[in-house]
Amino acid sequence: MSDTRTAPPPVATARPSSPPFTGRSVLAVWRRRRLARSWPAVLSWLVLVALVLVAVVGPLLVQADPLRQTSSSLLPMGSSGHLFGTDDLGRDELARLVHGARPLLLVAFAATALAAVVGTGIGLVAGYAGGVVEQVLMRIVDLALAFPSILLVILLVAAAGPGTVSLVFGIGVSLAPGLARLARALTAREAAHDYVVAAKLGGTRTSRVLARELLPNIAGPMLAQVVMTLSIAAGFAAGLSYLGLGIQPPQPDWGYMVQAGQEFLYTAPRLVVLPATFTLLFVVACNFVGDDLRDALDVRGPA
């Protein structure tokens, strides 16, 4: 008698889930994906690097004193010894442009770093803790976002007094809420994944979960947004210097140079056009570079 029994059907096994994204994955993604894949991105990277180099090493290469006043006022561009001419006080315009890049970019980078640390920290804690902690922190963030950013910056800087330190503090605090909201959304999404739940059930300390599990996973989108925030910080710094609340004269600064040169807008427009153009180039380059970083570091996108 033949055996009519049939073999049991195969048991379906779950497909192994992809490993969680960790800090080491960033290097792999960076190798697979190429930055600056379009000509606007290439041009933006070149402009951004060039302006940073001007701010860092430019003052070492330009020998003219940006504060030295001479009788050769309002010399046109191409004058002997003054490539970009002189301003109304006879100061070399090229030297003032080069020396004016450092304070503006220093304020922009420092304020953005402050906003990134504060905003990312608040967003991580709120997104991971949830409940009452999240509600309290995010209501504070919403209250800060209810104020127009430029108005909040002016209030903070005016309360602390004009100067570099108050400028960094005011801009950093005003930009932190936007980064905090993004960090909370990214953290809440990642906190629901199995690797975070497993770390919590395994007794991993909260600080270690935040630093080792969650932060590397939100680093890509946050980095792109931080670079875009850098453009806003530079615009705020230049605008406040224009209003007299930022970097104080006689130290050259692109924002203050626009304000000082507007009196000669029709007779010597370069005094306004040149610093305003350099500020605009930096702002636009930061936005395009941020977009490029977002595409390159999006590990969940198509390869």
Which are the contacts of 272, defined by CB distance < 8 A and separation ≥ 6?
A: 257, 258, 261, 262, 264, 265
Report the C-alpha gap between 183 and 160 in whole angstroms.
28
Q: Which of 34-43, 90-99, 162-171, 201-210 is predicted least confidently?
A: 34-43
Question: Residue 174's Cα: distance from chain center in Å?
Answer: 13
Nearest Cα neighbor of 285 from 47, 64, 66, 68 is 47
Domains defined along the chain, listed by start: 110-303 (1.10.3720.10)
> For 146-155, b where at least 16 C-beta lie within 10 A, e where not — what string?
eeebeebbbe
Which are the contacts of 47, defined by CB distance < 8 A and separation ≥ 6?
A: 281, 282, 284, 285
| 82: amino acid identity, one letter | H
User: What is the pLDDT at residue 33?
Assistant: 54
User: What is the pLDDT at residue 30?
Assistant: 43
Q: Which of 10-19, 193-202, 265-274 is predicted least confidently?
A: 10-19
Per-residue pLDDT band for 38 (boundaries 50, 70, 90) equals: confident
User: What is the pLDDT at residue 301?
Assistant: 46
- How is residue 128 written in tokens? 């991971």
Q: pLDDT, tens digit, for every residue of 66-112?
A: 999 988 888 889 888 888 999 989 999 999 999 999 999 999 999 99
What's the burial of 234, exposed, middle or buried (CB within 10 Å: 0-12/13-18/19+)?
buried
- How is residue 243 written in tokens? 């209003």
pLDDT higher than threshold 70 for residue 37:
yes
**Angle 171-174-177 from CA coordinates, rounded to 5°:** 135
As a three-state string, the secondary structure of the chain is: CCCCCCCCCCCCCCCCCCCCCCHHHHHHHHHHCCCCCCHHHHHHHHHHHHHHHHHHHHHHHCCCCCCCCCCCCCCCCCECCECCCECCCCCEHHHHHHHHHHHHHHHHHHHHHHHHHHHHHHHHHHHHHCHHHHHHHHHHHHHHHHCCHHHHHHHHHHHHCCCHHHHHHHHHHHHHHHHHHHHHHHHHHHHCCHHHHHHHHCCCCHHHHHHHHHHHHHHHHHHHHHHHHHHHHHHHHHHHHHHCCCCCCCCCCHHHHHHHHHHHCCCCCHHHHHHHHHHHHHHHHHHHHHHHHHHHCCCCCCC
Q: Is the peptide bond before 250 cis (omega within 30 degrees of 0)?
A: yes
User: What is the pLDDT at residue 34?
Assistant: 61
Per-residue pLDDT band for 233 (boundaries 50, 70, 90) equals: very high
Per-residue pLDDT band for 23 (boundaries 50, 70, 90) equals: very low
Mean residue pLDDT across the chain: 84
Length, in residues, of the chain: 303
User: What is the pLDDT at residue 18?
Assistant: 41
Section 250-267 average pLDDT = 90
Section 279-292 average pLDDT = 94
pLDDT higher than threshold 70 for residue 26:
no
Nearest Cα neighbor of 256 from 234, 237, 231 is 237
Section 35-41 average pLDDT = 78
Section 29-37 average pLDDT = 57
What's the burial of 39, exposed, middle or buried (CB within 10 Å: 0-12/13-18/19+)?
exposed
Q: pLDDT, tens digit, for every residue of 261-283?
A: 999 999 999 999 999 999 999 99
Report the C-alpha gap between 127 and 276 in whole angstroms.
40
- In the chain, the percentage of residues whose pLDDT exceeds 90 is 49
